[in-house]
Amino acid sequence: MSEFQGVGSTTAPVPFSVQLTNCPQAGGVYYQMDAVNGYAAQPQSVVNLQSGGATGIGVQLLDSTGSTIVPMGTAQTLTTNGSLNYTIPFQARYYQTSSAVTAGVANTAMTITMTYQ
């Protein structure tokens, strides 16, 4: 709670990755992230939390360096390496969406859609 100083403030990002195994051989591989529970601030790609927990915040997905927001609902190119296994590195952080923040469970859900061409 102490990290939130007003709308638009964020917590330090936490790295994680999505592991893909035995993917089809393809010339182009793309992924798209979408919010399951809708958007708290769509221009900033901030997704809503699941209901029944914390309020006034959402989750923002960043690239592996933490410097670029991953745009929700837009296909992103995955660099292929000739392998059938991929790792997609991300970072995620909480983003304050309202002047009032309440404590509680702060989980969300996103879907990832893979396209192989």
User: Could you report the per-residue pLDDT of 13-65, keeping only the tens digit for each?
Assistant: 999 999 999 988 878 889 999 999 999 988 899 999 999 999 999 999 999 99
CB atoms within 10 A of CB 73: 12
Structure tokens at 94: 């909480």
pLDDT above 80 for 73: yes
Do 4 and 103 touch, CB atoms closer than 8 A?
A: no
pLDDT value at residue 25: 82
pLDDT, one tens digit per residue, over 83-107 is 788 899 999 999 999 999 999 999 9
d(CA 70, CA 61): 6
| Predicted local confidence at residue 82, as pLDDT | 75
- Structural domains for the chain: 14-116 (2.60.40.1090)
Q: What are phi and psi of 83, to 5 degrees?
A: -90, 165
